[in-house]
Amino acid sequence: MASASLAPFRARNFRLMWTGALLSNIGTWMEAVALSYYVAHTTGKPSWSALVGAASFLPNGILGPIGSAMADRWSRRRILAIGSALSAIVAAILAVWVGGGTSTPLGIAGLSFVAGCIGAFTFPSFQSTLPDLVPREHLVAAIGLSNAQWNLGRIVGPALAAVAISIGGIGTALWCNAISFFAVIVAVMLVKVPRRVGDRRKVFRALADGLRFARANAAMRRMLVVMLLTIGIASPFIAFVSQMATTVLHGGATTTSVLVTAQGVGAVTAAFTLGSITKRFGVSTVMFAAVTALCPALVAYAVAPRVWLSAVTLMLIGLCYGYAFTSFASTTQQAAPDAMRGRVLAVNFLVLGLMFPVGSLIQGQIADAIGLRWTTAGSGILLATGLAVMAPWQRRAGAIVPVSLPAVSDPAR
């Protein structure tokens, strides 16, 4: 089973891109933990944490579809290189401002929005490049390993952030992120991927292509219903981990790092085993089982009275959420024809970019009013209710089936 999950590492191009992305994501998580701790510590309100988190994700809903369409029609290597350079500049500005002690939560949210706008163009190009780096039979494992490098950053980054903050303050952790973007630039320079040739005037029309394909494809329709529920109801817990650590559990930067790392451990476990698990049970089965298990895991996390219990429950949440989220991407990657990959992925980015900010902002206001524990527990119960209501429709649609590549033509042709 391990061999199937690690098979993509046999490809040189995949190894290079994976390593560069890992180094960059370590820096990203150092920044995420440093900023989330800073906002939680200085405000004490979940609504401010929700605003900063929403600002970084909202561009995925606004610009993500455009970035995904461009990934089909422009040089993905050029988008990744230019985007990484711009991200490094924004990260450096943030390091100077926050490190100097003159920043405000609203200003941090503004810069997070700018960084999110850049990421809305670079991330789709990275995702769309994955099938060009490995053989088709290794694609699901490659997607799982791509998720693993993101979550390995979640493990290593928080620990390094705690060290950096203790040595040089918040600014030191933020500078590490600015420097880390050069790892992606170097990797992109060393990797060759096919150049996509398309009519650049059709970028906006391409967005409709992805929506039409998702509506027509049964696997995509079933997946999107579950994804909407999961992202809108369950995902906001991510924005409040630092608030749980400081406001509820009365910890500091170290406690925040422990909880973020715990979630990362679960997610990495999911990512490294996804290829083998889905090979045995099918992507849809894994997705539905993971989202179902996520419901009681959120309730357990909400009521955990100690840091170590919170960490254990977050590992379980990370495992369930990792399987679910990567299954969403796997369903899309397998269903989409090569020529439409970026446009179909745009639908996923649209759901993530809109539902996560909206869910976070709503739950942030609720948490300010009734407390974070009640809000988090309620999200688990609400998700379970939504799944139960949708179960009859999903069964009629034949949801629990392995996802296979359909024989379809490119609507844009």
Domain ranges across the chain: 2-188+207-396
> Phi and psi of 400, rounded to 5°?
-85, 80
Per DSSP, the three-state class of 261 is helix
Q: Which pair of structure tokens corresponds to residue 273?
A: 């085993």
What is the predicted pLDDT for the residue at 4? Answer: 62
Q: Report the distance separating Cα 334 and Cα 126, nearest Å.
A: 16
Alpha carbon distances (Å) from 75 to 70, 200, 202: 8, 11, 15
Classify burial at 142, counting beta carbons within 10 Å of its beta carbon; exposed 0-12, middle 13-18, buried 19 or more. buried
Nearest C-alpha neighbor of 232 from the set 53, 392, 363: 363
Following DSSP, what letter does each residue of 6-21 receive, concatenated?
Answer: HGGGGSHHHHHHHHHH
User: How many Cβ atoms from other residues are within 10 Å of residue 407's Cβ?
Assistant: 6
Nearest C-alpha neighbor of 115 from the set 171, 204, 52, 46: 52
Q: Report the distance separating Cα 18 and Cα 233, nearest Å.
A: 30
What is the predicted pLDDT for the residue at 72? Answer: 67
pLDDT in 10s for each residue of the chain, 413 residues: 456 667 788 888 888 889 988 999 999 989 988 888 888 888 888 888 888 888 887 887 777 667 766 776 677 788 888 999 999 999 999 999 988 877 888 889 999 999 989 988 888 788 777 777 877 777 777 877 877 787 778 778 888 888 888 888 888 999 999 999 999 899 888 887 666 555 444 555 666 777 777 777 777 888 888 899 999 999 899 888 888 998 899 888 788 888 888 888 888 788 777 777 877 888 888 888 999 999 999 999 999 999 999 999 999 999 998 888 888 877 887 777 766 766 777 777 778 778 888 899 999 999 999 999 999 999 999 999 998 888 766 555 444 333 333 333 332 32
Class of domain 2-188+207-396: mainly alpha
User: How many Cβ atoms from other residues are within 10 Å of residue 150's Cβ?
Assistant: 22
Look up the pTM and report it.
Answer: 0.71
Query: Taking a C-beta distance cutoff of 8 angstroms, is the pair 308, 357 a contact?
Result: no
Number of H helices, E strands in the chain: 16, 0
Query: Taking a C-beta distance cutoff of 8 angstroms, is the pair 111, 94 a contact?
Result: yes
- CA 79 to chain centroid, in Å, comes to 19
Within 8 A by CB and 6+ apart from 315, the residues are 262, 263, 265, 266
How many residues does this entry show for the chain? 413
Q: Report the distance separating Cα 260 and Cα 256, nearest Å.
A: 6
Q: Which pair of structure tokens corresponds to residue 307?
A: 């840091």
Q: Report the distance separating Cα 213 and Cα 305, nearest Å.
A: 46
